[in-house]
Chain A
Amino acid sequence: MNEMNEVRKPPVATTGIIGWLRINLFFNWTNSLITLFVIYCLYQFIPWILDWTIFSADFKYNYLGEQITNQEMCSRNLDPENGGACWAVIYVRFYQFIYGFYPKVEVWRVNLAYVMLAFALLPLLYAKLPYRKYFLYFTYIFPIIAYFLLNGGLGFTEVSTNKWGGLLVTLVLGCTGIALAFPIGIMLALGRRSKLPVISMMCTLFIEFIRGVPLITLLFFGMVMLPLFLPEGIDMDGLVRVLVAVTLFQSAYMAEVIRGGLQAIPPGQYEAAKSLGMSYWRMNLLIILPQAIRISIPPIVNTSIGLFKDTTLVIIVGILDLLGIGRGTLADTNWLGLSYEIYFFVSLVFFIFTFGMSRYSLYLEKKLKTGINMGAD
């Protein structure tokens, strides 16, 4: 009878801050030990990294108050005890990181193109945009405007592509690659699923070949072999040759992603469209593709992130994208030895773009409630 009368302790709190801490950080003694260890490591690491990147870092002036123009003037090179990162290199070379060697007088054209790119992307990214239809018209003609704006012609002075560089090249390669690969990818995906055996075989061979070789071999192909294939007199621009390789590469991956979407469409949709007397192209354009593309948007964004990161490979064939400008700066005796600062900055720029894209893809996935996920690079 004694046991019955014993007063039981109230259950431990599982709500509020204390409850949250108990469940998530100090659930049992191993868990608590791990938490304390992680906190200790962070305590060691975070002050150090904050000090290096912000508190002891030089942004424009060194600790003597002089404006930094080369690496010898960085605080940490004047006095190793006294100084962290030397961000002045980014400050001094900022123009090159964003525009490459684009002439300073003409740089407004690049700025205008950047702003127009933002407006062109707006209706694609945000479906509820007011007057979306008119924005979309602008999106369709934007590539033509951008071509004349950046390259010259129609009254603009010509700026040869070997003067382009930095973020400009990264964005041109990324956006053009994705935009061109999309229609080609759709054609390849339809071709691979086609009932005509020759066409299906050719598309399959093309897709599997491209997916089986590394991008760098395709870039070599564009750089070294493409000039051999073309008749004399046709001299292709270096950037265009790289673009051909990047687009071929991306369209094979895009095709597989879209094929995944096509496979998810129930056969009833095909049958219904055919019973209405629709032709092959009408059926695909009006019924099948709109649905297939809608469900494959998240993986499309994922492969696009992959392509955006892969554009860095062009430095191997001598095109100066963001990373290429970074390496070029490092080779300059004025900025020798600042590799951590430069690579940190370039990583940060890439991170902002790719992380933003992946967040966007997650948002879409939630909105569309589709669970299709493909292994994207």
Chain B
Amino acid sequence: MRSNLGFFSDEKFRSIFFQTLVVGLFALGLFFVISTTSYNLEKRNIATGWSFLQNPAGFDISFSPFLEFKSTDTHLKVYFVGVLNTLLVSITGCIAATILGFILGIVRLSSNWLLSRLVYIYVEFSRNVPLLLQIILWYSILIQLPRVKQSLQVLDVFYISNRGLYSPRPIFESGFSYVSIAIVLALISSFLINRWAKKRQDKTGQQFPVFSSSIGLIFIVPLILFFILGSPLSFEHPELKGFNFKGGLVIRPEFIAMFLALSIYTAAFISEIVRAGIMSVSKGQREASAAIGLKQTWIMRLIIIPQALRVIVPPLTSQYLNLTKNSSLGIAVGYADLVHGFGGISLNQTGQAIECMAIVMATYLSISLTISFFMNIYNRSIQFKEK
């Protein structure tokens, strides 16, 4: 028995029908939202458009290490300060979390039962307590540090107080640029030496002291140049004046709390990823490399880690993405990142919620896509190369 809706059983027709239906409903919904929104905006006297970006912000930002910020600056500058602060805490957090995570992941596999249990307890506690709580906890510890007048002094030049960490600020004098050029050149040449040495070893089997020559190039050559040019670098020390320090470089407790919480929290996840990665390398690999007489450290560096990285890198990428997105929690302790500065204060001052949120979301999306892009390139470079 055929139903009289025969054409409806046709797959091609149905596919077009359903897709048109979905697009139609979506367009209808969009039209409804846009029309009610524009009505609501008009009724509440909220301006639209992007001109607010050029208006003066009218508030101060306490932590802006890269750009000088005054309250007369525009909202656009608030945005740039926010992006830079987000990137600062994300990048430093990712680096610290990776180092800590790798160390902990390897220690977790140590044959010492006590040590590996200790790392296990750390991992479970830090994974199972909400990150926001950890950020707030670190912040509450940091602001209970002594006041500025009684600040702790470390090595005579660092001052730790509840206003943050004060350290000397380096001042680069003329001539320092030569030193930095020398460092860059040394980095490039040691990279080239490394490539050349690898090629030669593959061809002839001869080894070249890459590590020591690179150290010499990167550290000793610029250092000699530095002294020849008459040490073109001086430090501005922080000085206690009245109720606060003047001068020097200050790292605010908000940043320190964010940095500590983000890196410690993410390191717990990374250590588990590293552990799983190392355990995924089969036991035979380790035994075979021991059988051909490789040293214990070489087995790790040349055999285990390169194979483990194939398993480690994809989930590591998602941890980096998580850390970057989690840096938006800075708003809880008043760290002036993208969400707090631009998506919070600017939004409240101008009332232009749609524009502000659109910019913030688009920025996070582009940061996420950029991280994915570079990690995918790296991932491709370490995968098995089929010959």
**Which residue numbers of A lie inside 8 Å of B, CB to CB?**
23-25, 27, 31, 34-35, 38-39, 195-199, 202, 209, 211-217, 220-221, 224-225, 227-232, 305, 309-310, 312-313, 315-316, 323, 327, 339-340, 343, 346-347, 350-351, 354-355, 358, 373-375, 377
Question: Is A214's CB under 8 angstroms from B22's CB?
Answer: no
Residues of chain B from 97 to 144 with CB closer than 8 A to chain A in the complex: 111-115, 118, 124-125, 127-133, 136-137, 140, 144
| Apart from A24-B111, A227-B40, A228-B36: 9 A-B pairs, beta carbons within 8 A | A196-B15, A212-B369, A225-B353, A229-B36, A230-B36, A312-B133, A315-B132, A323-B132, A343-B133
Q: Complex formed: what's the CA distance from A316 to B315 in Å?
A: 29
Whether B329 sits at the interface, judged by CB under 8 Å, is: yes
| Contacts known (A347-B129, A375-B319); A214 close to B37, Cβ less than 8 A | no
Residues of chain B from 346 to 387 with CB closer than 8 A to chain A in the complex: 347, 353-354, 357, 360-361, 364-365, 368-369
Question: Is A27's CB under 8 angstroms from B133's CB?
Answer: no
Whether B26 sits at the interface, judged by CB under 8 Å, is: yes
| Contacts known (A199-B18, A213-B361, A351-B125); A375 close to B318, Cβ less than 8 A | yes
Chain B residues lying within 8 Å of A209, measured Cβ to Cβ, are 361, 365
Closest to B116 in A: A24
Question: Is B40's CB under 8 angstroms from A232's CB?
Answer: yes
Q: Spot the interface stretch: B68-76, B209-217, B221-229, B320-328.
A: B320-328
Contact of A316 among B124, B137, B319, B331 (CB under 8 A): B331
Whether B302 sits at the interface, judged by CB under 8 Å, is: no
Output the least CB separation between B180 and chain A (Å): 35
Q: Decide if the interface of chain A is mainly helix, strand, loop or mixed.
A: helix
Size of the chain B interface, CB-CB below 8 angstroms: 58
| Contacts known (A31-B112, A38-B118, A229-B36); A214 close to B129, Cβ less than 8 A | no
Contact of B353 among A31, A202, A228, A312 (CB under 8 A): A228
Question: Is B365's CB under 8 angstroms from A199's CB?
Answer: no
| Contacts known (A24-B111, A39-B114, A217-B357); A377 close to B18, Cβ less than 8 A | no
Closest to A330 in B: B140
Mind listing 22 A-B residue pairs with CB under 8 Å?
A23-B111, A24-B114, A195-B15, A196-B19, A199-B18, A199-B22, A212-B364, A212-B369, A213-B365, A217-B361, A220-B339, A225-B353, A316-B331, A323-B136, A340-B140, A343-B133, A343-B140, A350-B128, A350-B133, A354-B127, A354-B129, A358-B127
Output the least CB separation between A279 and chain B (Å): 11
Output the least CB separation between A19 and chain B (Å): 13
Whether B238 sits at the interface, judged by CB under 8 Å, is: no
Chain A residues lying within 8 Å of B22, measured Cβ to Cβ, are 198-199, 202
Q: Complex formed: what's the CA distance from A202 to B40 in Å?
A: 27
| Contacts known (A224-B353, A228-B37, A323-B133); A196 close to B111, Cβ less than 8 A | no
Output the least CB separation between B61 and chain A (Å): 19
Question: Is B36's CB under 8 angstroms from A231's CB?
Answer: yes
Q: Complex formed: what's the CA distance from A299 to B269 in Å?
A: 14
| Contacts known (A34-B112, A202-B22); A225 close to B357, Cβ less than 8 A | yes
Q: Complex formed: what's the CA distance from A229 to B37 in Å?
A: 5
Q: Complex formed: what's the CA distance from A364 to B319 in Å?
A: 24
Q: Complex formed: what's the CA distance from A231 to B314 in Å?
A: 44
Chain A residues lying within 8 Å of B357, measured Cβ to Cβ, are 217, 220-221, 224-225
Question: Is B339's CB under 8 angstroms from A216's CB?
Answer: yes
Chain B residues lying within 8 Å of A228, measured Cβ to Cβ, are 36-37, 40-41, 353-354
Enumerate the 8 nearest inter-chain pairs by beta-carbon distance, A residue then B residue, closest first: A24-B113, A375-B318, A214-B328, A214-B325, A309-B130, A354-B128, A375-B315, A198-B19
